[in-house]
Amino acid sequence: MHKHINFSDCSMDQVSEHYEQVIATDVSAAQLEHAGQNPKVRYLHTPISTSEDELVAMLGGDNSIDLIVSACAVHWFDLSFFYSVANRVLKKPHGIIAVWTYNFNIRNLEKMMTKVLEVVKPYNDPRVQYGLDGYKKLPFPFESFGFGSEGNPMELDMEVEMTLDELIGSLKAGSTIVKAKEQGLDLLSDEILEEMRREWGDSTTGSRKLVFLAYMLVGKPRSN
């Protein structure tokens, strides 16, 4: 049986097409409630208080998982804890861990996004910087086999059709901007939004193909 475990919120329906069993975990019970239901997916609430041994047992025990993925999330984890669990549950020697993220370095909107990121930067949680740096500084203690390695992530172009309003909505949903807003600070001021509209061009209501930069690290447990 091929088993896959997901430590983030990528599409479980797509993943389940390729694996006999998928395990989706989250520290938030509320997040799992919004994940939908798929008969091939086992949804596990794994609160922060869960010990390493408890989590390993919940996932099926040592040497039981074929693939672990984390999309846009691993930089928020307790990395030493997460990597220790991953090393235990991944099958040897062929179990795989893959982590990836993207940031708002958009190839065809460099000038606009550089200004936005500079405004936001002083307020970022230090963990956000891992993503902004494209996972180049993210610890990743696994053996590489050609799809990025610690300090040298694989870079990918991620093409997305978006309107300006959708892009602004994505920015406003970012953790830094949300937390600043809760404290009464609007990082996306009217002035910045107006500059974004000017750079976007005449048709601010139309969609455009944007090219986000994505970064991936893939590895397997190192041989002792």
Q: How far apart are CA 190 and CA 220, in angstroms?
A: 47
**Tens-digit pLDDT profile for residues 34-51:** 776 777 888 889 999 999
**Tens-digit pLDDT profile for residues 92-103:** 999 999 999 998
Q: Give me the numbers of helices (H) and strands (E) for the chain, helices first please.
A: 9, 8
CB atoms within 10 A of CB 174: 16
Which pair of structure tokens corresponds to residue 80? 């030493």
Q: Quick one: pLDDT at residue 170?
A: 93
Q: Quick one: pLDDT at residue 34?
A: 76
pTM equals 0.87
Q: Quick one: pLDDT at residue 177?
A: 92
Q: Quick one: pLDDT at residue 9?
A: 46
Q: Quick one: pLDDT at residue 40?
A: 80
Backbone angle region of 179, left / alpha / beta, with phi > 0 → left and psi within -120 to 50 → alpha: alpha
Encoded amino acid at 84, one letter = S
Q: Quick one: pLDDT at residue 10?
A: 47
Q: Quick one: pLDDT at residue 13?
A: 64
Task: Report, as ranges of residue numbers, the positions in the chain whose pLDDT lies below 50.
Answer: 1, 9-10
Domain borders along the chain are 1-91, 103-134+149-214
Domain 1-91: homologous superfamily in CATH: Vaccinia Virus protein VP39 (3.40.50.150)
